[in-house]
Amino acid sequence: MHKNFFVHAKERLSEEKAVCVILAAYAVFQIFSCIWFAAHAEARNAALSFVYLLAIPAALLIEWLIGIRFPALFHLFLFLLAAGGILGSCYDVYTVIPAFDEVLHGISGILFCAVGFTLFKRILGEDESKKSFLACLLAGILFSLAIAVLWELFEYACYVLVGADMQEDMIIDGFGSYLLSGSHNETVVIDGITQTIIHYGDGKTYVIEGGYLDIGLYDTLNDMLVCTVGCLLFAAALIPDRKLSGKLKKLLIGRISPSNKEKTE
């Protein structure tokens, strides 16, 4: 079993030089990050960089297990997404470029739609009919949306179980509430907030300037929305692409590995 996997990995990297270059560049970035953070006594970031390095064998292992080979552009987006996790949280790019998180979630919507499409096509085989295409397209959309939900549940679980703040907070200047009115027939609207003062039990206070702190609701829904938009745009692009040359499909949708294709034949 292990020998077959290593043979697959070796053949995979030798046959597609572009994939090999992408994986090598990603490995260099993660190894550099691990050493950099370790040298600066940032244990958490060094550990995360090492864990993210495992994305390389994980990606090859998944391809081997499901008998699918994803094209080079898919791997480029995949490892840009993985590298973005380190850039955002460890190098603090999320703070410097607030929209960076949205870009990553948009990419994830495209990638997981491609994965869902590929997995369902793996089940259906070489059927190229319109019905098969639409079924794969729907499977891709649903798979992408499911991953978006599971990821946000994972972020929430990390906060509840270990106190890790993976859901980005933001300052808002207003909100509406049924709770404050005491009835679902009326909404109390709080608007134009410029400052929030938190009073602790020991008499100390903490001042939040600029408005009221939202502790993740906006981030969660925005991430899911951006992922959905990316997914739907990719799915919509595949429809005219099928009637034309099919280049977009070839660039991002996986294909059955030669060895698995021989077995099915």
DSSP 218-230: HHHHHHHHHHHHH
Instruction: Sketch the domain layout of the chain as residue ranges.
Output: 2-170+216-264, 171-214
Q: What are the beta bridge partners of residue 205?
A: 199
Give the three-class secondary structure for 54. Answer: coil
Q: Provide the pLDDT for residue 216.
A: 84
Q: Provide the pLDDT for residue 243.
A: 86
In 3D, which of 253, 218, 255, 221 has the Cα closest to residue 237?
253
The stretches in the chain having pLDDT less than 50 are: 1-2, 262, 264-265
At 208, list the tokens: 């939040």
DSSP string, 72-140: HHHHHHHHHHHHHHHHHHTS-HHHH-TTHHHHHHHHHHHHHHHHHHHHHHHHH-S--SHHHHHHHHHHH
pLDDT one-digit tens code per residue, 128-149: 788 899 999 999 999 999 999 9
* Contact (CB, 8 A) for 85 and 105: no
Residue with token string 């200047």: 173
Confidence (pTM): 0.86
How far apart CA 110 and CA 74 sit, in angstroms, is 9
How far apart CA 214 and CA 234 sit, in angstroms, is 31
How far apart CA 148 and CA 111 sit, in angstroms, is 11
Q: Provide the pLDDT for residue 115.
A: 95
Q: Provide the pLDDT for residue 264.
A: 47
Q: Provide the pLDDT for residue 255.
A: 87
Q: Provide the pLDDT for residue 261.
A: 54
User: Residue 169: what are its φ and ψ, rounded to 5°?
Assistant: -80, 160
Q: Provide the pLDDT for residue 128.
A: 77
